[in-house]
């Protein structure tokens, strides 16, 4: 009987020691898991990539080059991420000024050129739309609709603003003030002025 009692007492003592050890470890574990006072939890934020990788911006683009070759045509095209306006010329690539404006006015006369769209781009080509003899090199069939841009994502209207003293101007009505780029291409006898306007930011 004594041995049974002694064994039971020994077991109870051992269980008490195990429970006490577990309770002693618990606060340490909790302290290790809890954040330190005054610490902050960091979160990783991912910046949104630009639309189609476009980083053109909407500020004015200018080149001061003067071209002797005249304007030969104007056309437009639709692309996945932007709408494109192309001015065809004979000879070397011209300089240009392309910028957002409040209004577009005709060359020489200064008459207002009405344009559809939420924003207006003035396109000035540093080249005439007439030959050295004064004969027209390009005359739009409809000055109000130089190119048909019906159904375009960004373009709303291309209107003729005239040619005067070696410069040719157009108004490009667009959906909103959107990023755009301007560049020129040249081959053996012709060149092109290219204006791309993004579909969105």
Please give the chain's pLDDT, 201 residues, in tens: 444 444 444 454 445 544 444 444 444 444 434 445 554 444 444 568 899 999 999 999 999 988 778 999 999 999 999 999 999 999 999 999 999 999 999 998 999 999 999 999 999 999 999 999 999 999 999 999 999 999 999 999 999 999 999 999 999 999 999 999 999 999 999 999 999 999 999
CA 41 to chain centre: 34
Per-residue HEC secondary structure of 86-101 comes to EEEEECCCCCEEEEEE
| pTM over the 0.85 mark | no
CA 196 – CA 154 distance, rounded (Å): 10
CA 5 – CA 2 distance, rounded (Å): 5
Burial 94-133 (b: 16+ CB within 10 A, else e): bbbbbbbeeebbbbeeeeebebebebbbbbbbbbbbbeee
CATH code at 58-198: 2.60.40.3500
Output the pLDDT for position 15.
Answer: 52
């Amino acid at each position: 009987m004594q041995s049974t009692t002694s064994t039971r007492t020994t077991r109870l003592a051992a269980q008490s020691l195990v429970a006490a050890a577990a309770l002693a470890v618990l606060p340490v574990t909790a302290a290790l898991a809890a954040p330190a006072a005054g610490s902050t939890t960091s979160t990783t934020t991912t910046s949104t990539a630009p639309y189609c990788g476009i980083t053109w911006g909407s500020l004015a683009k200018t080149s001061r080059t003067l071209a002797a070759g005249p304007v030969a045509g104007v056309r437009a095209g639709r692309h996945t991420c932007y709408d494109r306006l192309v001015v065809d010329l004979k000879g070397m690539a011209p300089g240009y000024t392309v910028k957002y404006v409040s209004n577009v006015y005709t060359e020489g006369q200064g008459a207002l050129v009405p344009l559809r769209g939420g924003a207006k781009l003035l396109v000035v080509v540093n080249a005439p739309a007439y030959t050295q003899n004064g004969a027209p090199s390009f005359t739009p069939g409809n000055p109000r609709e130089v190119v048909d841009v019906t159904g375009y994502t960004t373009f709303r209207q291309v209107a003729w603003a005239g040619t005067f003293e070696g410069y040719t101007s157009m108004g490009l009505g667009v959906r909103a003030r959107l990023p755009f780029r301007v560049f020129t291409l040249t081959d053996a006898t012709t060149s092109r002025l290219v204006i791309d306007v993004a579909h969105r930011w």
